[in-house]
Structure 1
């Protein structure tokens, strides 16, 4: 909780300082914009979407992937899955999450939930069929690592902050173009709306790059957690198996991609928008860790 409060306080301070700086520079005199009110407006809408998405993340995950929750195990494989997740959760110091299986040929898994003691961990049917028990355990440990590290909450907060920044500065830019460049004196003209939309598109791409950079960093941390809980060799083996299946398209919903074990493969500039680092880098990082 303290980590969340400090994170929010730091980013709120950044936004307030930005607002004060613009006021000291006299930008508000030219545009007639009340940046305090604008900041509150953008923060409310910027955080609302990401926090609501976080709160309903488990429900959305179940609906979008067709995940079937294991409430009463019907087979020895489901029994083993529940026992393994319970053991890993206990070792990680978190409450046992819900466990599910989703119908997909690709080898993948994900974790989601609004806090680490009310989470969901699910694996694909394809992963269960083709991975060895040690590799499945390592994948589950990776996802438990995401939960224990609080990655879902942290990414939601970061998304809220960048949403606020995008809305805030896009509207400042739109107002500046409308009032200063186009000399519009009555309300918001077409210049304001065109400039604001353009700025939101550009800033939105930059914001996504920042969020995905952080997501890639969290993958290394989750791999380390998986190695601690399931063993380094098992975690490396699971990642190597995923690398052997890189030709299989990843069909996870975008909202869950950041918390999956496998985020697909992109090259060039598109790599800046990857939620996961290349598997080769993740394997090498674990080897260096020893």
Structure 2
């Protein structure tokens, strides 16, 4: 299989990463200018990032209630993933099943050698074989593209800004504030809020681009983008019919799912971790034309 890049999408990913880097440098310059002791904050942020990187798979499995299964429990599913891994040039990941009425799937893990691909029991009943293959290929594309590492690095500046915001509020509530440092502290707090908001928007944009890239990867692995279009439509339609209580139980893991399970009203596109369904389908139809050579 030839892994063809979408250079327009790749450029948007790199541009978003560059903007995050520039935002980080500006933020560090402001903090240093006001004499903020950065070592403690950076060490804490790095520590949180390492925990997220090395233990993200265990944390996601724990929060979703997904369970690692052996080949003897779901032999067909294992064979399907094994075949897709051969097509994608990936090592075999661990496979997990999640009991939920919300049809969905996700991938996690810090690298292809430490990956977990999970799906709900309801999605296995909902989709036919080609559609399920397309969904699993989407998740394996996240693994191949090392999206856990990408998003962990991208969230670094947001973690620093969040820590400064919280430490300032804590010092105001419990440590008091003197005239000498009060003005500088307020400026740093305001800058931190702005940086946190801007970095969050950039991270969400990056997340949406990664979903487009994973959709493209699925189409290239299976050579069947129409199957993923069908799967996305089925999943979206079924999620709308699932009670809000069931969706709320797994809402915390929405960033990992192929389609987020929102328990409330639809949120603004700008604040979503995933692109709108119609844009994903339009992009897959474009890829389908590319594969057909016209």
The superposition leaves residues 205-250 of structure 1 with CA deviations (integer Å, 9 ceiling, x where unpaired) of 3332221111000000000011111211111111121232241354
Distance 1:223 1:12, change over 3 A: closer
Aligned length: 261
For structure 2, list consecutive stretches of 5 or more residues without a partner in the other structure.
1-15, 170-176, 289-294
Report the TM-score, using the length of structure 1 for normalisation.
Answer: 0.76
Partner SS state of residue 112, structure 2 = coil
Counterpart in the other structure of 2:285: 287
Q: Which moved more, 1:250-259 or 1:229-238?
A: 250-259
Q: How does 1:108-257 map to 2 (within 5 A)?
A: 108-165=104-161, 184-185=179-180, 188-189=181-182, 200-230=192-222, 231-247=224-240, 248=242, 249=244, 250-251=247-248, 253=250, 256-257=253-254
Query: 1:53: Cα distance to partner?
Result: 1.7
For structure 1, list consecutive stretches of 5 or more residues without a partner in the other structure.
1-6, 175-181
Counterpart in the other structure of 1:3: none
Counterpart in the other structure of 1:178: none
Runs of 4+ that moved beyond 6 A? 7-14, 191-195, 266-269
Are residues 1:68 and 2:67 paired? Answer: yes
The superposition leaves residues 10-64 of structure 1 with CA deviations (integer Å, 9 ceiling, x where unpaired) of 97787456645787xxxx4xxxx335x42x3332222322331221112112221
CA distance in 2, matches of 1:12, 1:116: 26
Q: Is the 8 A contact 1:95 1:118 kept in 2?
A: no
Distance 1:13 1:211, change over 3 A: closer
Partner SS state of residue 72, structure 2 = coil
Q: Which moved more, 1:249-258 or 1:105-114?
A: 249-258
Report the TM-score, using the length of structure 2 for normalisation.
Answer: 0.75
Partner SS state of residue 138, structure 2 = helix
Q: Over alpha carbons, which structure has the higher Rg?
A: 1
The superposition leaves residues 133-174 of structure 1 with CA deviations (integer Å, 9 ceiling, x where unpaired) of 111111100000000000011001100133235556x69x99
Partner SS state of residue 275, structure 1 = coil
CA distance in 1, matches of 2:47, 2:251: 19
CA distance in 1, matches of 2:22, 2:273: 27
Counterpart in the other structure of 2:43: 44
Q: Which moved more, 1:279-288 or 1:192-201?
A: 192-201
Q: Which moved more, 1:256-265 or 1:98-107?
A: 256-265
Q: Which has the higher contact order (CA 8 A, sep 6+)?
A: 2
